Structure 1
Amino acid sequence: MSNLQKELLDWTNSILSTLDCNKIVNITPLREQASLRSYFRLTTDMGTKVGVVSVPESNVNSTFEELSSSLLRNNIKVPRIEASNHRKGFMIVEDFGDKVLQLEMNLENQKEFYKEAINQIHKIQDIQPFQGLNILSEETLKQQMKLFEEWFLAGLLDLEYSDDEKSIVFEAYNFIAKECAQQPFVLCHFDFEFRNLMLTSDGSIGILDFQDLCVGPYTLDFVSILKDIENPLIDTDLSAYLKHCLVGLDSSEISIPSFEGLKRDIDFGGFQRQLRILGTLARLHLRDKKSFRLNDLIQTLKFLMDDTANYEELKGLSDFLKKKVEPKLLQTLKAII
């Protein structure tokens, strides 16, 4: 047992009376996460719970607890916080089980899962944004995309590219950020991937990893599942799910002019996310020594490369990605993995 597990176990044993159980039978690590938190399943004589450990100085647990309470009050199914000690960086939260939608999805249930996930996004977007949340201004959206150059092109790939190519990337940031900033702004989960959605014991969807909740373009959460790297959609399926998005948006306060308008907005939300994610995952490997998502870079780049080719203003970026970045990425990953 690691020191971290022992400290969590000792603290949990000291508060058993508040957790409606008498003893801890077992403690096991859960799947590796991209976040800076560690997760453990605590098996008790009265069922299971999840122990969460973070660096106390980061305040991520206190933020998580506040957001959990706010989302639960608005009927969003997120884990209840059963106990916390922010000084130690410990929390005990409700256990949603092991059925991750990413792994549970198949050809028979895909349509149902996608539509229910889209419905959950609509529910989140209908909530009046909480006070104190980050607002993704045009400048913030641009800064997030710059992770692509800092951590992906320079850090991971050590790519040499010309001043003209740098200008192409810079202009792409400006164009994409401007397009995204013109979209309606709503409450965003900001990491609404199928890997963060759980099929709970009552058959409903539970939502994890909401600590980056913010106010931003309405397409950011939609694109997280519509451009899911584990499940690239064929055009007919993508169109069907876009139409389902449109039905929900029609009954909300978000004004979308047409199906084509939604598709364009989704594309640009995707470009912003994909540039950001390429940088974030490279940073996860280089800085945080977590390499389990390196393979995700390939499909993320493919989405970006293929879809930017459909816009005259971004064809230069698409060509740069195809001719220079993709070959270098494949070469780099072959040497690492």
Structure 2
Amino acid sequence: MGERLRQLQNWVAEQAEQNGLAVVSKSLQPVSGDASFRRYFRATGEQENWIAVDAPPEKEDSQPFVDIARHWHEAGVRVPGLIALDLVQGFMLLEDFGDRLMLPALNAESVDRLYGQAFRVLDTIQAIPHEHLPAYNEVLLRREMGLFDEWFVGRMLQLELSPAEQRVLDEAKRALVSNALEQVQVSVHRDYHSRNLMLLHDGELGVIDFQDAVSGPVTYDLVSLLRDSYVRWPDQQVARWVEDFRHRLALRGGTPTREAFLQQFDLMGMQRQLKVLGIFSRLCLRDGKAGYVQDMPRTLGYLYRAAGRHSSMAELQQLLDRRVVPAMARHPMFKEIDLDQELA
């Protein structure tokens, strides 16, 4: 056992005693982590369990998580309750939401019901005052998309774009930034998808991994959910859900036309997909988390098809067709994946 885990176990035991928690064993059991340096463990109790979080303070700032958890809980979003905190050491003890992610429960019969529930939660999140959150500004939007150039194109695919090709990519990014900044700004979870939504025993939907929330575009969380890198739905079905959500927004005030809102959604998705391809590549190459490789062709497919639906992105789709897609098809890490199917 590492020294860090031993310290966490001793801290949890102390907190259990101070808070009157009937912990069965001092031993902590690992549970699924995320794409950060945080680690999660389950502390088993006589009647309920808790989640112990190890977030090394030199690598993870947990204060935003704590602040947003308190704020969103007060607003009616089901986020994990804060049992005990020691942010100096980087330790937290949280309410345990269990192991039932939305993703495995999604199928043709359940998806409308589950997404309908996710839309209701998203309504609540977007209604929360957002002025205190960091702005999803041009600097952040561009920094995220830069991960595509560095980690996916450069390091994963080993491609060097010509100056003309780089100009095509840069021009597309300018349009994507403008689209994001022109939208209505709301509270944005920033990773609102089926692996961060939990099906709770009381029928409610739990929300996790919200510490990077920002004040940003109204379509961002919607596209995170409906263009989920871990599950794909037919484009016509997605368009229907987007229109349903546009009607929900209309109850709060003016909204764009159907066509304008769908374009905002598509272009917002392209910004996110550029970022995600870069993040997945970095997780694989730098952090040794190769499991994300299987989700990259689906993510590229979203980007490719969205570019094909908008004339302003025609040159970007041609660049993907000419350089990126062939390089991915040749790459040994993707040889078992039907790339043509994901692009169709």
In the TM superposition, what is the alpha-carbon distance from 1:216 to its structure 2 partner?
A: 0.8
Aligned partner of 2:119 in structure 1 is 118
Describe how 1:119-138 pairs up with structure 2 within 5 A. Answer: 119-131=120-132, 133-138=133-138
In the TM superposition, what is the alpha-carbon distance from 1:59 to its structure 2 partner?
A: 5.1
CA-to-partner distance for each residue in 1:71-101, whole Å, 9 max, x for gaps?
1011111001100111211100000011100
Aligned partner of 1:205 in structure 2 is 205
- Distance, in Å, in 2 between the alignment partners of 1:76 and 1:330 is 42
Aligned partner of 2:225 in structure 1 is 225
Change (3 A) 1:24 1:12: farther
What letter is aligned with 1:14?
E
Larger deviation, residues 227-236 vs 39-48: 227-236
What letter is aligned with 1:51?
A
Aligned partner of 1:318 in structure 2 is 317
Change (3 A) 1:142 1:209: same
Aligned partner of 2:50 in structure 1 is 49
In the TM superposition, what is the alpha-carbon distance from 1:231 to its structure 2 partner?
A: 2.4
CA-to-partner distance for each residue in 1:53-80, whole Å, 9 max, x for gaps?
0112345222211110011011111001
What letter is aligned with 1:121?
L
What letter is aligned with 1:310?
R
Q: 2:328·2:334 contact (CA, 8 Å) conserved in 1?
A: no
Q: 2:293·2:334 contact (CA, 8 Å) conserved in 1?
A: no
Aligned partner of 1:74 in structure 2 is 75
In the TM superposition, what is the alpha-carbon distance from 1:234 to its structure 2 partner?
A: 1.4
What letter is aligned with 1:39?
Y
2:261 is aligned with 1:273:
no
Change (3 A) 1:263 1:69: same
Change (3 A) 1:109 1:32: same
Change (3 A) 1:76 1:335: closer
Change (3 A) 1:335 1:313: closer
Aligned residue for 2:195, secondary structure, equals helix
In the TM superposition, what is the alpha-carbon distance from 1:14 to its structure 2 partner?
A: 1.6
In the TM superposition, what is the alpha-carbon distance from 1:319 to its structure 2 partner?
A: 1.5
- Distance, in Å, in 2 between the alignment partners of 1:13 and 1:285 is 35
CA-to-partner distance for each residue in 1:16-60, whole Å, 9 max, x for gaps?
223332334242111131122001111122321001101123452
- Distance, in Å, in 2 between the alignment partners of 1:17 and 1:322 is 60
Aligned residue for 1:83, secondary structure, equals strand
Larger deviation, residues 162-171 vs 134-143: 134-143
Change (3 A) 1:90 1:137: same
CA-to-partner distance for each residue in 1:263-314, whole Å, 9 max, x for gaps?
1110011011011111111122233332221221111111101110121221
Describe how 1:180-329 pairs up with structure 2 within 5 A. Answer: 180-253=180-253, 255-329=254-328
Larger deviation, residues 21-30 vs 210-219: 21-30
Unaligned runs of 5+ in 2: 337-344
In the TM superposition, what is the alpha-carbon distance from 1:2 to its structure 2 partner?
A: 4.1
Aligned partner of 2:342 in structure 1 is none
Identical residues among aligned pairs (%):
30
CA-to-partner distance for each residue in 1:105-148, whole Å, 9 max, x for gaps?
122211101111112111111111152x2101234322321111
Q: 1:308·1:315 contact (CA, 8 Å) conserved in 2?
A: yes
- Distance, in Å, in 1 between the alignment partners of 2:334 and 2:221 is 33
Aligned partner of 2:341 in structure 1 is none
Unaligned runs of 5+ in 1: none
- Distance, in Å, in 1 between the alignment partners of 2:67 and 2:330 is 44
TM-score relative to the length of structure 1:
0.94
- Distance, in Å, in 2 between the alignment partners of 1:279 and 1:49 is 33
2:105 is aligned with 1:104:
yes
- Distance, in Å, in 2 between the alignment partners of 1:229 and 1:293 is 10
Aligned partner of 1:171 in structure 2 is 171
- Distance, in Å, in 1 between the alignment partners of 2:76 and 2:227 is 26
Aligned residue for 2:224, secondary structure, equals helix
Q: 2:130·2:186 contact (CA, 8 Å) conserved in 1?
A: yes
Aligned partner of 1:16 in structure 2 is 16
What letter is aligned with 2:184?
P
State how many pairs are aligned: 335
Q: 2:293·2:333 contact (CA, 8 Å) conserved in 1?
A: no
- Distance, in Å, in 2 between the alignment partners of 1:192 and 1:87 is 28
- Distance, in Å, in 2 between the alignment partners of 1:75 and 1:333 is 47
- Distance, in Å, in 2 between the alignment partners of 1:291 and 1:125 is 34
TM-score relative to the length of structure 2:
0.92
- Distance, in Å, in 2 between the alignment partners of 1:127 and 1:24 is 38
CA-to-partner distance for each residue in 1:194-219, whole Å, 9 max, x for gaps?
10000001011000000001011111
